Chains A and B, each alone.
Chain A
Amino acid sequence: MSDIQATQTRLVDDIIAASDLDTLEALRVAALGKAGSITALLKSLGAMTPDERQAQGPQIHALREAVTTALADRKAALDAAALDIKLAAEAIDMTLPADAAPKGSVHPVSQVMDELAEIFADMGFAVATGPEIEDDWRNFTALNIPETHPARAMHDTFYFPEVGEGAAQRMLLRTHTSPVQIRTMMSQEPPIRIIAPGRVYRSDSDATHTPMFHQVEGLVIDRGIHMGHLKWTLETFLKAYFERDDIVLRLRPSYFPFTEPSAEVDVGYKQEKGRRIVGGHGDDDGHAWMELLGSGMVNRRVIANCGLDPDEWQGFAFGVGVDRLAMLKYGMDDLRAFFDGDLRWLAHYGFGALSVPTLSGGISA
C-alpha cells in the first residue's frame, strides 16, 4: 500500500469518526486547508517530473476527491442528526384543540324557500313578492271575500287602526299570500306562472299556530288550464320536494271564495318512530291522510276583478305552509321554535351556507 493510500484510509476513518461539526471542520482544515496535508501534496505536483506526475497525480487527486466526499457525507449526516434532535424538541401534543372557525347556518324556512324556488323554476314558475301590510281590497274583496262574507271569520285578521272617514282602504296584515295573485294579475299579462312565498299573519296562537308564519302561493293563468294541470303540478312539486316517487295525493272538494272548484289536498303518510313520513297511499295499511294544502281553479270573479277576461284566461292557485313543509321534511315538531332564535336549535336544524339546493346536486342539499 502506498503512502497516499494509507493517508486516505486514515483521513476517511477520522472523518467518519468525527462526532460533531467542530471536529469535522478541524479535520477539513488539517487536510484541505491552506496548510493542509492534501493541499501540500497537491502543491508538490508542480515540482515533479512528468513521469512522477504521471504516476502520482491521479492518486493525489483521488485522495482529495475521496476526502471531500467523506467530509460532505459526514456533514450531511451530522446536520440530519442535529435537525432530528431540534424537531424532537419541538414536539407538541397534537390532540390539543385547534381554534374552530365559527360555523353559521341558514334558517330552515329560508332553505325551504330556496328549495321551492329551485323546483318551481324548472316548471317555469317565477318567484313573486308583495307587501305584508296589505289593504282590505287585495287581501279580501278582490279575492271574492266581501266584508260580510262568513269566510272573513275564517281568518283572524290583524288590522291597523282606521285612518278616518273616507280613507281608501283599511290596512291589515295579510292573512295569506293570495294578495300577491291579485298584484301579479294586475301588473302582468298572462300567461302567468308564479310562486309567492312570504310571511303571513293570523291572530292565532297555540302549540301548532303562531301569529306569524310562512306560506307559499302558486298561481297559473293561461288558456285551457284545468284541474288536471293543478293535480300534476302539485304531484310533481311534492315528489321533487320530498324526493320520493311514492307521493300520493287525495284531492277533496272544499270551499275557498277565491277558487271554484276548490280542493283540499291530502297526502298519504305513515307514522314512524313518532314522526310522520310522507309517502304511500293514505288508505294502505299503517298509512293515513294528512291535509297539506288548499287549491282550486281561480274564481272567475277574481280574474275579472284583476281586469282580465275570465272567458279567455283561466288557471289554478294553491297555498301551503312553508314552516309545515319544513317540519314534515326535516322533522321539527314545534313551530314556535322557528321564531325563537335559539342558537342550539339553529345549529341543529339550520343548513350550511354551501348547502345550496340545486337540481343537479339535489334539492335537499
Chain B
Amino acid sequence: MKMTLDWLKEHLETSASVHDVVATLNRIGHEVEGVENPADKLKGFRVARVLTAEKHPQADKLQVLTVDTGDGGAPLTVVCGAPNARAGLVGVLGLPGAVVPANGMELKVAAVRGVESNGMMCSSRELELGDDHDGIIELPADAPVGTSFADYSGAGDPVIDISITPNRQDCMGVRGIARDLAAAGLGTLKPLAVPTIIGEVAPATEIRTDDPEGCPAFYGRTISGVANGTAPEWMRRRLEAVGQRSISALVDISNYVMFDLGRPSHIYDRAKLTGRLVARRAKNGETVTALNGKDYTLTDTMTVIADDIGVHDIAGIMGGEHSGCSETTSDVLIEVAYFTPERIALTGQALALTSDARSRFERGVDPAFLDDATAIVTAHVLAICGGTPSAVTRAGTPPAEVKTVDYDPTLSATLGGIAIAPERQQGILTALGFTIIEQGGRWQVAVPSWRRDIDGAPDLVEEVTRITGFDAIASVPLPRTDGVAKPTATAEQMLERRVRRAAAAAGFHEAVTWSFISDRDAAPFGGGDWSLANPISEDLKVMRPSLLPGLLAAAQRNQNRGADSIRLFEIGRRYLADAEHPTLAVLMAGDKRARGWQAGKAAPFDAFDAKAVALALLDAAGAPADRLQVMEAVAEGSIWHPGQSATLRLGPKAVLAEFGALHPLLTRHFDVDGPVMAVQIFLDAIPAKRASGPARAAFTPPALQSVRRDFAFLAPTSLTAAELVRAIRGADKAAIVDARLFDRFTGQGVPEGQVSLAVEVELQPVEKSFTDAELKAIADKVVAAAAKVGAELRG
C-alpha cells in the first residue's frame, strides 16, 4: 500500500521527516518496501527569470536569453526555441547536470549553432507535469527566483510504499497507519471529521439484503443531480501519487475514501438500475461483465448485488461495467456494505479476481464504520459533484459486537521478552484504540472494532512489544544440558551422510535435481503416482518415481556443454503411492578413463563399474555385503539393458539396489550419447544395524599362514560365477575362508557352450598346518562340490 507524506499528515499531527516515518514504520511492523521522492527527479531545476531575449544570430526559430538564476551571480546565457520565451518571463531553468525527467537526458553546457547555452528553459512535458509542449512553463511573475522548482511546486511529497501484513486490514488506509505511528510516539492522531448529512427524502432506489450470511449489512443512499466531472487536483494528485489512475470524480471519490480510510464503497449510476437493488446469492451460471471488461460466470456460493434485471456487482470484489458511473451520470446510489470476509475470500479465489476492495473486505473491514463512511463519501460527492442527498437506508446489521481479551501485563516479559511497565503498556494500548478495565493485576482489554486480528493475550503482547520496539528484546541463552552435546542424528540421517560422502570420495558429483519431471520422462519408469493439479509447466508435473530421469537430463545438459566424462549422483526421494522413499542414484556416462600416453585410447564405463560402485556404497551404508545376492533386474527390460543389469538383494524380496547398463532406448529417450551405467540404492530397504555398543567382536589374527590353491573348471555357460563360488565355499566351511574367481575364458580349447572358470581358494589352518593328506581331502571336496553344479575339473 502506498501513501504520501502529505497525505499522512492529513491524519497525523507531526513534524517527523520521511526518514523518521520510514524508520518508525519498519520498527513497528510495517515494512517499507521503498520511498519514491518526486523531488529527486526535479533536482537541478529552479525558478528563474528571463532578463533579455534576442534572436539567435544563426537560427530563425531560436532565441538567446539571459537568465537570472537568483543566486546573485551573473546572468546565464541560454538558447531557447520556445515561442513564448520573452524578457520578464518567470519559468523553470534546468542547470547543467540536471536530468530531464521526460527523456532521461542529462543537461550539459553546449554550443547551439555557435552560441553557448548554459541550461534549458523547460516545458511542462519535459518535467512530466503535463502534456503541454507548445512553450516553456510560465510561472506567476512573483514566483521566488532562485528557489528549487521542486520546493516551489510542492512536488516534493514523498511516496512511501508499505507492505501491509495480511492481518492488518486497518492499515490498508492512511488513517490506520497514522494511528500506529501516533501510538509509536511520532505525533498526534487528528480527530476524524465526520460530516452530518441530512437527507430529506427516502432513497430513490429501494435496497435490501437477502443474503445476511454473505452480506450482513447493506447501507445505501441516493444522490440526485450530480455532475460527474473530474475530481479536484489535490485528490487526483494523491491518487496518482499512489498509482491510482484518475477516472472521474465519482470513481475517484470512492477510491480516495478506500485508500484514505481503508473503507471500500461502490457508486452506481441509477439510470442503469431497474427496480430494487438487492444483496443476494448469485444463481448458478449467472454472468456479469465486471469493470475490468471481463465476463465472470457465478455460482450460488457467491454474493452479488443485483437489480430486477441482473447482477451489477460481484459483492465486495468488483463492480459491473454496465452500472458504472460515466460523465453523463446524474443520479447515483452509494453502497456502503459489510461483506463476510470468508465469503469474499472464497469468491475471489474461485474467480481468480483480485481487487483493492477484495483485499480489504476479505481481511475484514471495520464493522462499526458504515454510517460514518457513508457520510464521508456523501460529503465528498456533494462538495465535488453537487446534488441532493436522500436519507440512508440501513439494510441488515453489521457484526459489531465488542471483543474482550483477558490480559496479564507480565506477559510482555514472559512471552515477548521485554519487561514493559504496565502504565506504558496501558498508554500504548489506549493510543491504539483499546480500552482497559483493570481487575486485580489482570486486565480486561476491549478490542477496537477495526482490529479483527486481535483475539488473544499474545496479540496484545505483540502490540505492546512492537510499539516499544523489538530492539529492546535482550538475548537470553537457552538452558544448556549438562555435559558435552549429545549426538542428535537419526540412523537414517547417518546413513545418508555416510553414503553421500562415500559417493563423493569415489569420484561422483552430487547433484540436486527437480522432484517433479514431465509425464514423458516418467513414462519409461512406469509413470508417476503423483501428478500435480496445477503444475508450473508440463516439464515439472509428475513427482519422480526414480532419480534417474533427473540425472539423465543433467547428463544430457553436460554432454551438450562438451563434458566427456560424467559421474553424478543424487540422494533424494522417490514419490510412490505408498510413501516417499529415500534413494541414492548414481549415473556414469562417457569416458571412465580419458585417453592417455600410458593406456592409449579412452575407456568407457561398463556394467561392472556400476556393480563396484553399488557394492562399495552398500558397504559404506553398512549393508551386510557378504550376504548380498546378485539377482536379475526387477523392472523388465524397460529401463535396464536386459543382459547387463542386476539387483543386489538380501533374499528374493529385499531388493537393496539395482545396477548395470541402462537400456539404449532409455538413453536415446533422454538424448544421452553412448552407453550409460547407473545404480539405484534403496536406502530404506537397507536393514538397520543392531545397536551393540562400540566394542567389536573378539578377534586374534591366526598364527598360521593361510594356504592358496587354484582350481580350473569347465562348466556350461549357463553356470554363473556366483553359483560356482558359492558351491566351492560350501565345500568345507571350516577350512575354506575365501574363494575368488580370477579367470574366465571361452574360445580355443574350450568346447562350444562351455566356459573355463578358474577359482583361487584360500584355506586357513587353525591349530596346526595342513598335512598333504588333509589338503588332498579338501581339494577333493572342492572338486566334488563344483561337479554338483556342473563344473568339471580341467585335466
* Chain A residues with a Cβ under 8 A of chain B: 96-97, 99, 101-107, 109-110, 114, 117, 120-127, 129, 131-133, 147-151, 153-154, 158-162, 171, 173, 193, 199, 201, 203-205, 211-212, 220, 224-233, 235-236, 250-255, 257, 260-264, 297, 299-300, 314, 338-344, 346-347, 350-354, 356
Contacts and interface: CB of A to CB of B under 8 A. Distances in A.
A127 B488 contact: yes
B790 interface: no
Contacts of B566: 343
B564 to A, nearest CB: 10
Contacts of A129: 492-493
B543 A133 contact: yes
Given A105-B509, A161-B533, A253 B465 contact: yes
SS class, residues of chain A in contact with chain B: mixed
A114 B345 contact: no
A254 B28 CA distance: 8
A110 B571 CA distance: 9
Contact of B511 (A120, A251, A341): A341
B470 A228 contact: no
A107 B512 contact: yes
Contact of A109 (B346, B471, B512, B543): B512
B311 interface: no
A220 B462 CA distance: 19
Given A117-B493, A254-B29, 4 more contacts: A104-B569, A110-B571, A150-B359, A341-B554
A229 B506 contact: no
A226 B416 contact: yes
Contact of B510 (A151, A171, A350): A350
B532 A253 contact: no
B488 A117 contact: yes
Contacts, number: 258
B74 interface: no
B271 to A, nearest CB: 36
Contacts of B359: 150
Top 4 A-B residue pairs of the complex, sorted by shortest distance between their CB atoms: A341-B554, A102-B507, A253-B29, A227-B417
Interface of B: 26-29, 31, 165-168, 341-342, 345-346, 349, 359, 362-363, 413-418, 456, 458-459, 461-462, 465-466, 470-471, 473-478, 480-481, 485-490, 492-493, 497, 500-516, 530-536, 540, 543, 550-551, 553-555, 557-558, 561, 563, 565-569, 571-573, 575, 579-580, 593, 596-599
Contacts of B486: 121, 124
A105 B456 contact: no
B500 A124 contact: no
A300 B501 contact: no
B724 to A, nearest CB: 33
Contacts of A260: 456, 458-459, 461-462
Contact of A341 (B166, B490, B568): B568
Contacts of B466: 253, 261
Contacts of B569: 104
Contact of A123 (B418, B462, B478, B551): B478
Nearest to A157: B534
A153 B167 CA distance: 13
B456 A117 contact: no
A227 B532 contact: no
Contact of B458 (A121, A124, A299): A299
Given A105-B510, A261-B466, A341-B551, A353 B416 contact: no
A341 B500 contact: no
A224 B540 CA distance: 45
Contacts of A201: 515
A149 B342 CA distance: 7
Given A117-B488, A150-B345, A150-B359, A252 B557 contact: no
5 contacts: A117-B489, A121-B487, A126-B489, A131-B579, A226-B416
Contact of B561 (A235, A262, A344): A344
Given A133-B543, A160-B530, A104 B458 contact: no
Contacts of B342: 148
B418 A227 contact: yes
Given A133-B530, A350-B509, A340 B557 contact: yes
A168 to B, nearest CB: 16
Given A132-B515, A159-B534, A254 B165 contact: yes
B345, B503, B551, B567 — most chain A CB neighbours (10 Å): B345
A346 B458 contact: no
Given A133-B580, A160-B532, A255-B165, A343 B568 contact: yes
Contacts of A225: 478
* Residue among B168, B477, B490, B555 facing the most chain A CB atoms (10 A cut-off): B477
B485 A356 contact: no
Contacts of B568: 341, 343
Contacts of A231: 417, 473-476
B478 A233 contact: yes
